[in-house]
Amino acid sequence: MPRKLGETLSDFAIRTAYEYGHAWNPDNPGANHASLADLQQMGAGHPVVISMLRSFSLMQATEYTVATLKYHNRQPQFDGLIGPAMEDTLQVARCAVPDYVPPPGVAFAFDDPMVQAVCQRMQANEAEPLLGTGSWPSCHGVGAFHASLVRIDDSRLPSFLKPVFLRVLRQVQMSYAALGLLWRFTDQSKKDLLNGEVLTGTVNSEMSFVTSSSGWIGLAIVGQNESCSSTIWCRFLATYKGGSTTDSIATQWTTLIKHELGHNSGLGHSSGGVMNPSIVNGLPTEWTSSDPSTRILQRSFGGSPVPIPGGGGGDPPTPPTTIEQQLRDVQIRNAVQDATINWCISEIRKLKGA
C-alpha cells in the first residue's frame, strides 16, 4: 500500500492497519466502531491503536521478524509500536483482502472500489452462519465432487508470465484436485486451456489482470457456499513478477493464484503458508499438511483426490511429492533458516563484545 504525499508515518501505519481489517480483530473490540479518522485522532500511542498495529504485525509475522532482525538483531516483541521494522512491514506487497471482517452494521469506506466490494461481501458473509460445506458441489457434470469453472481474460497477461502460465495453471489445478476441488480454466470462448475441451457450464469465477492497483498484488471475492450458478472474481497485478528466473516466477505465481482462488473457496488469511497476506517465497506447489489452510480445505471439499478430465495440457507439471517428503522438506528449510538466524545473531553479539 503506497504512502500518500505528505502523510505522516503514524497516519500511514494506522490507515494501512485499518484498511487491512485490523480495527475489526475480535481481540480489539475498542476499535470495532471507530472510523479511520477516529483512530488517527487517537494517535499511535493510544492502547486501541497499539492493539491494532500489534494485530497487523502478528498477521505478517514472517515479514515483521525479518525486519526486526535486520534493524534490531533480535526477535520481534510484537508490541504494536512504530519503528523501522513496522515501517518496512507496512510496505510489503500483499493481497488486499482484509485480514478481519467488519462486524454487521459497521460502516466503512475505502478509496479502492474493488477492495470496497470485497469487504462488503465479507461483511455480508459474516452476517450469515457458515454451513460447513464447500462451494460448487457436484457442479458441471464431472462427478459427485466440487468443481468450478474459471474464465481467464488474458488481454493483460504479462509477457514474463506467458511462457509458464499453463504450467502454473496445471500446478494450481493439481494442488486443489488433491483435496477434492477441481478448478477448470477456460479462455473467453470457454475452451479448457489445459485440455482443449469446450465447456458449457456456468462460469463461477472471472480471472483477470490489471496494470495498476492501490498497492495490492492480488484481490478476490471471498466465497461462501457458492452454487453451481454463482459468479465471483479474482484479480492480479500484471506488474508483479515474483522472481528473476522462469522457475521462480512459476513458483511464485502458482502460490499467488492458489492464494486468490483460496479466497474464492472461502479461505481467509493465515500467518504463514499459502494464505499469508504477502506471498511466502518458495512454497511447494502442493497444499502441505503443515499449511494452516490445508485442513480447512479438506473439511470443505472432502479431502480426497478427484480426477482431472482430459489429463495433460500445458507444460509437464512437477511430480507431486508425498506428505512425508513435504514434511521433511519443510522441516529441513525451517532448520536451515533457524540455524542461519542463530549463527548471524551469535556473530553480531561477538562483534559487539556481548
DSSP for 44-80?
TTSHHHHHHHHHHHHHTHHHHHHHHHHHHSS------
Dihedral sign, Cα of residue 14, residue 15, residue 20, residue 22? positive
Q: Is there a contact between 135 and 148 (Cβ–Cβ < 8 Å)? A: yes
Residue 15, pLDDT score? 96
Residue 341 has pLDDT above 80, yes or no: no
With cut-offs at 50, 70 and 90, classify the pLDDT of residue 216.
very high
The least confident of 29-33, 162-166, 181-185 is 29-33
- What grid cell was written down for 153? 481474460
d(Cα 344, Cα 51) in Å, to the nearest integer? 31
The identity of residue 219, as a single letter, is L
Whether 26 shows a pLDDT value over 70: the answer reads yes
Torsional class of 190: left (φ above 0), alpha (ψ -120 to 50), beta (otherwise): left
In this prediction, residue 315 has a pLDDT band, given cuts at 50, 70 and 90, of: very low
Residue 96: pLDDT above 50? yes
What mean pLDDT value characterizes the chain? Answer: 89
Is residue 49 within 8 Å of residue 23, measured between CB atoms?
A: no
Beta-sheet pairing, 205-210 with 146-152: parallel
pLDDT at 32 (0 to 100): 83
Percent share of the chain, pLDDT over 70: 87
| CATH of the domain spanning 139-320 | 3.40.390.10
Q: 221 falls in which pLDDT band (50, 70, 90)?
A: very high
Q: List pLDDT tens digits, range 44-83.
A: 999 999 999 999 999 999 999 999 999 999 889 999 999 9
Return phi, psi of residue 208, to 5°: -150, 175
pLDDT score for 126: 81
Q: Tell me the pTM.
A: 0.86
pLDDT band at residue 339 using 50, 70 and 90 as cut-offs: very low
Angle between helices 47-59 and 9-19 (to 10 degrees): 60
The x, y and z cell numbers of residue 278, run together, are 504477502
Q: Is the pLDDT of residue 215 over 50?
A: yes
pLDDT at 205: 98
pLDDT at res. 322: 53
In sequence order, the β-bridge partners of residue 209 are: 236
CA distances from 169 to 97, 200, 235, 241 (A): 22, 20, 15, 16
Q: Using alpha carbons, list the distances in angstroms from residue 104 to 17, 51, 120, 130, 169.
A: 19, 21, 10, 15, 36
Encoded amino acid at 350, one letter: K
Domain boundaries, the chain: 1-92, 139-320
- For residues 18-31, give the mean pLDDT: 90
With cut-offs at 50, 70 and 90, classify the pLDDT of residue 348: confident
Q: End-to-end CA distance of the chain, in Å?
A: 39
Give the pLDDT of residue 262.
97
pLDDT of 319 above 60 = no
Output the pLDDT for position 63. Answer: 92
